[in-house]
Amino acid sequence: MAERFARIIIDISHEKVDRTFDYRIPERLAHEVTVGTLVLIPFGKGNSMRKGYVVGIADHAEYDRDKIKEIAEVPADGISAESLLISLAWWLKERYGSTMNQALKTVLPVKQKVKPREKRVIRCLLDKEGLLKALEEAEKKNYKARVRLFQAFLENPVIPYEIASNQLNLSPAALKPVIEKGYADLESEEVYRNPIKSGKITCKGVDLNAEQQAIADSFCKDYGENIRGTYLIHGITGSGKTEVYMELIQRVIEEGKQVIVLIPEIALTYQTVMRFYGRFGSRVSIINSRLSAGERYDQFERARNGEVDIMIGPRSALFTPFSHLGLILIDEEHEGAYKSETVPRYHAREVAEKRASMEHASLVLGSATPSLEAYTKALRGEYRLFTLHSRAKKDSSLANVSVVDLRQELKEGNKSIFSRKLKAMMEDRLEKKEQIMLFMNRRGYANFVSCRSCGEAIRCPHCDVTLTLHKNNRLVCHYCGHSVPMPDKCPFCSSPYIANFGTGTQKVEQMTKKLFPEAGILRMDLDTTSKKGGHEEILSAFSEGEADILIGTQMIVKGHDFPNVTLVGVLAADLSLYTPDYRCGERTFQLLTQAAGRAGRDFRPGDVVIQTYNPDHYSIAAAASQDYEGFYRHEMAYRKLMKYPPASGLLTIQLSSRNERLLTEAALETARFAGPLAEKDMVQIIGPAEASVYKINDIYRKILYLKQENYDILIKIRDSIDRFSEERRDLFDQVLIQYDFS
């Protein structure tokens, strides 16, 4: 038998996972050693035995064959969380195209020295009456952080310090006087944890309604029969998905298994976090991106040691080193934040599916607007589909949605950004002292051109995405490169009202101030939230009633609940419809549905006004009538016609370089090289075209798209292109090539 060698890392929590050592695999261990296996190896001059993990296997060694040592043994203590994560890293590398180091750095936490920090809780020492008095006093003096803390105490007399500081924005300086006055105390969590260790759960969940119960029953039945599957819960905001999640979690941890809950960072609010904490106590751990690498490592250590069974967090919580994983839950499954923007460009849903199947765990996805990917799999029977049809709270109803045609407004002489209907409703709410949210769903660089008379946007005849206006006054397609001069009249109706579309939130703020000089206005966008905690600060100011109107981008439609908001205005629903991206119809539908979900969460019915130049567009019409199925049918037909995912696999190859000439040549050569391979395997190649932002920081970027239903074929072509780029160092020394599957 040919000799085989294992590439081994010794210190997995060290920053340098790229430090690997080669060892020969003895024949007697040939069947046991694979990627991820824990092995014992003789190390260093004294050949002391060390533990290591196999991260790769090769039929040649990179070192002198004679000096290479042999793996001593595979210890019997079974598979650890690390082994599983390392095999997952291997899959990430193969699937998404990265180096093994990049993949390992994604799945293994970086160890950093943190001073061992005691876990602490803040305990309220006041009785109900005293607390209400303290709250009143704090309100009077306008101590905002204190008000937030006291309000939180009303629901939970014990709050983990971490949650108070991250989610309530409570600084040590704000806490100090509260403690000095004897209102509250800081205690070590050990004191608090003990009762929970004995199995007592702090509070029981609500009684599930029939639809919720049916989901829980099906899941538990499967779980009891050792069936692990993927489930998709489709339910509008407020339909009670979170209550269902908690029921499932309880079932799984009762079996001694562990649970990972992914929640988009923006929805990891104090309310959400405390709901889990209130039910599961300190068996829950929470991570977010504001934790330092050291603090995150700390949380992962607690998970590894079995101190917690439930890890809640954004995308990266997926790599929690649990070794008895029973369930992964992904809330708001459709969220863009689940896709990694750095190499390896993985999607959390796909990785969760992989990890769940490797570790015999179940996967539950939830959304009010499921991604086309997930819903398609559910319809095919790959996922089990559940639907929650109505809001869980009896007295809460869905908002009334009306669509206003801005073309008609213009025809009737209204050139303002506010339709007459929206303006009248705003006046009404301001008078009633109810709150208003104005929403601009503008994304990045939506430099498309559209007609204010007929509402048409100018699109690429080949790709059905909008053309982007460039400084040289040409319209360019960022998928195929097609380009035309900017017309001076609308090509559809000949109106001269044709222009670059795009009003910023700042301009909206100015115009709102002009129209309603008395109203208090807050604005939330990238400019106003860039400083740490800015986001949370603006939202709490608004929820505390410090302003009448909140203006913002899509950030404002997610997460937070504002009971006093009874009107949501979407100023130009079309903005997100015309980004040069095949997903824009889906994103528009999601954003509008979410925006509509913001109004009328409470007993008062809410109103939503959607202003648009395209009232008949299916994304807008379906969002207005809350018709997910109708939207899905339309959108899927479009994806099928254009061969976009999930109807087809799409591989995006991005080439980038400071040297524009080399970049152009490399892009053309890559396309030329891939051409015959693609033809043989019936792969469609599109491009090269310039990326939608062609130059960033003096680096130029070009894009090639490959479409084919079968992902394995795309992966095969990617591997060939990778080898080609290795061989052509003349071109690729200065050109970076990156892959992205979607």
- Residue numbers at the binding site for Zn ion (CB under 5 A): 451, 453-454, 460, 462-463, 477, 479-480, 482, 490, 492-493, 495
Please check whether residue 358 is in contact with residue 352, taking contact to mean a CB–CB distance below 8 angstroms: no
Q: How far is the CB of 236 from ligand ADP (least distance, A)?
A: 7
Can residue 241 be called a binding residue for ligand ADP (CB under 6 A)?
yes
Residue 599 interacting entry, from Zn ion, ligand ADP, none, C-beta within 5 to 8 Å by type: none
Segment interacting with ligand ADP, rule: CB under 6 A, options 8-16, 49-57, 233-241, 656-664:
233-241
Segment interacting with ligand ADP, rule: CB under 6 A, options 169-177, 238-246, 333-341, 613-621:
238-246
Please give the radius of gyration of the chain, using alpha carbons only, rounded to the nearest integer: 28
Closer to ligand ADP at the Cβ: 216 or 446?
A: 216
Residue 490 interacting entry, from Zn ion, ligand ADP, none, C-beta within 5 to 8 Å by type: Zn ion
Closer to ligand ADP at the Cβ: 97 or 238?
A: 238
Tell me the CA distances in angstroms from 21 to 25, 69, 320, one per residue in order.
Answer: 13, 10, 26
Can residue 240 be called a binding residue for ligand ADP (CB under 6 A)?
yes
Segment interacting with ligand ADP, rule: CB under 6 A, options 111-119, 235-243, 357-365, 722-730:
235-243
Closer to Zn ion at the Cβ: 74 or 493?
A: 493
Q: How far is the CB of 269 from ligand ADP (least distance, A)?
A: 11
How many whole angstroms separate alpha carbon 547 and alpha carbon 97? 48
Which among 470, 502, 507 has a CA at the least distance from the CA of 486?
470
Helix H or strand E encompassing 232: strand 230-235
Segment interacting with ligand ADP, rule: CB under 6 A, options 77-85, 240-248, 290-298, 431-439:
240-248
Can residue 238 be called a binding residue for ligand ADP (CB under 6 A)?
yes
Can residue 212 be called a binding residue for ligand ADP (CB under 6 A)?
yes
Number of neighbouring beta carbons within 10 Å of residue 691:
18
Closer to ligand ADP at the Cβ: 274 or 678?
A: 274
Can residue 239 be called a binding residue for ligand ADP (CB under 6 A)?
yes
Can residue 206 be called a binding residue for ligand ADP (CB under 6 A)?
yes
Closer to ligand ADP at the Cβ: 242 or 614?
A: 242
- DSSP for 294-309, please give it: HHHHHHHHHHHTTS-S
Q: Which residues contact 411 (CB under 8 A, 6 or more apart)?
A: 453
On the 0-12 / 13-18 / 19+ scale of CB atoms within 10 A, 116 is: exposed
Tell me the CA distances in angstroms from 390 to 248, 270, 395, 397, one per residue in order.
Answer: 20, 25, 11, 9
Residue 242 interacting entry, from Zn ion, ligand ADP, none, C-beta within 5 to 8 Å by type: ligand ADP
Please check whether residue 620 is in contact with residue 588, taking contact to mean a CB–CB distance below 8 angstroms: yes
Closer to ligand ADP at the Cβ: 53 or 386?
A: 386
Please check whether residue 275 is in contact with residue 240, taking contact to mean a CB–CB distance below 8 angstroms: no
Closer to Zn ion at the Cβ: 228 or 482?
A: 482
Largest CA distance in the chain: 89
Q: Mapped to the 3 state alphabet, what secondary structure does 347-416 carry?
A: EHHHHHHHHHHHCCCEEEEEECCCCHHHHHHHHCCCCEEEEECCCCCCCCCCCEEEEEEHHHHHHCCCCC
Q: How far is the CB of 38 from ligand ADP (least distance, A)?
A: 40
Can residue 208 be called a binding residue for ligand ADP (CB under 6 A)?
yes
Segment interacting with ligand ADP, rule: CB under 6 A, options 141-149, 204-212, 220-228, 545-553:
204-212
With CB under 6 A as the contact rule, the residue among 102, 242, 468, 505 that binds ligand ADP is 242
Angle between helices 241-254 and 210-224 (to 10 degrees): 30
Can residue 243 be called a binding residue for ligand ADP (CB under 6 A)?
yes
Closer to ligand ADP at the Cβ: 237 or 250?
A: 237
Angle between helices 81-96 and 348-358 (to 10 degrees): 130
Residue 704 interacting entry, from ligand ADP, Zn ion, none, C-beta within 5 to 8 Å by type: none
Residue 454 interacting entry, from ligand ADP, Zn ion, none, C-beta within 5 to 8 Å by type: Zn ion
Residue 492 interacting entry, from Zn ion, ligand ADP, none, C-beta within 5 to 8 Å by type: Zn ion
Q: How far is the CB of 496 from Zn ion (least distance, A)?
A: 9
How many whole angstroms separate alpha carbon 434 and alpha carbon 98? 51
Q: How far is the CB of 457 from Zn ion (least distance, A)?
A: 10
Can residue 235 be called a binding residue for ligand ADP (CB under 6 A)?
yes
Closer to Zn ion at the Cβ: 452 or 523?
A: 452
Residues contacting ligand ADP: total by CB under 6 A: 15
Please check whether residue 570 is in contact with residue 441, taking contact to mean a CB–CB distance below 8 angstroms: yes
Segment interacting with ligand ADP, rule: CB under 6 A, options 231-239, 411-419, 621-629, 700-708:
231-239
How many whole angstroms separate alpha carbon 428 and alpha carbon 607? 12
With CB under 6 A as the contact rule, the residue among 202, 209, 218, 483 that binds ligand ADP is 209
Closer to Zn ion at the Cβ: 340 or 450?
A: 450
Please check whether residue 477 is in contact with residue 462, taking contact to mean a CB–CB distance below 8 angstroms: yes
Residue 493 interacting entry, from Zn ion, ligand ADP, none, C-beta within 5 to 8 Å by type: Zn ion
Q: How far is the CB of 638 from Zn ion (least distance, A)?
A: 15
Residue 120 interacting entry, from ligand ADP, Zn ion, none, C-beta within 5 to 8 Å by type: none
- DSSP for 153-217, please give it: HHH-SEEEHHHHHHTS---HHHHHHHHHTTSEEEEEHHHHHHHHHTT--SS--PPP-HHHHHHHH
Residue 235 interacting entry, from ligand ADP, Zn ion, none, C-beta within 5 to 8 Å by type: ligand ADP
Can residue 237 be called a binding residue for ligand ADP (CB under 6 A)?
yes
Q: Which residues contact 529 (CB under 8 A, 6 or more apart)?
A: 535, 538, 555
Which bin fits 534, alpha (ψ -120 to 50), beta or left (φ > 0)?
alpha
Residue 606 interacting entry, from ligand ADP, Zn ion, none, C-beta within 5 to 8 Å by type: none
On the 0-12 / 13-18 / 19+ scale of CB atoms within 10 A, 603 is: exposed
Can residue 392 be called a binding residue for ligand ADP (CB under 6 A)?
yes
Residue 460 interacting entry, from Zn ion, ligand ADP, none, C-beta within 5 to 8 Å by type: Zn ion
Alpha carbon distance, N-terminus to C-terminus of the chain:
40
Q: How far is the CB of 441 from ligand ADP (least distance, A)?
A: 21
Can residue 393 be called a binding residue for ligand ADP (CB under 6 A)?
yes
Amino acid at 736: L
Strand partners, 540: none
Residue 477 interacting entry, from ligand ADP, Zn ion, none, C-beta within 5 to 8 Å by type: Zn ion
Please check whether residue 1 is in contact with residue 13, taking contact to mean a CB–CB distance below 8 angstroms: no
Helix H or strand E encompassing 685: strand 684-696
Segment interacting with ligand ADP, rule: CB under 6 A, options 236-244, 287-295, 577-585, 673-681:
236-244
Q: How far is the CB of 498 from Zn ion (least distance, A)?
A: 7
Relative to beta strand 468-469, strand 184-188 is unpaired
Q: Which residues would be at the binding site for ligand ADP (CB under 6 A)?
A: 206-209, 212, 235, 237-243, 392-393
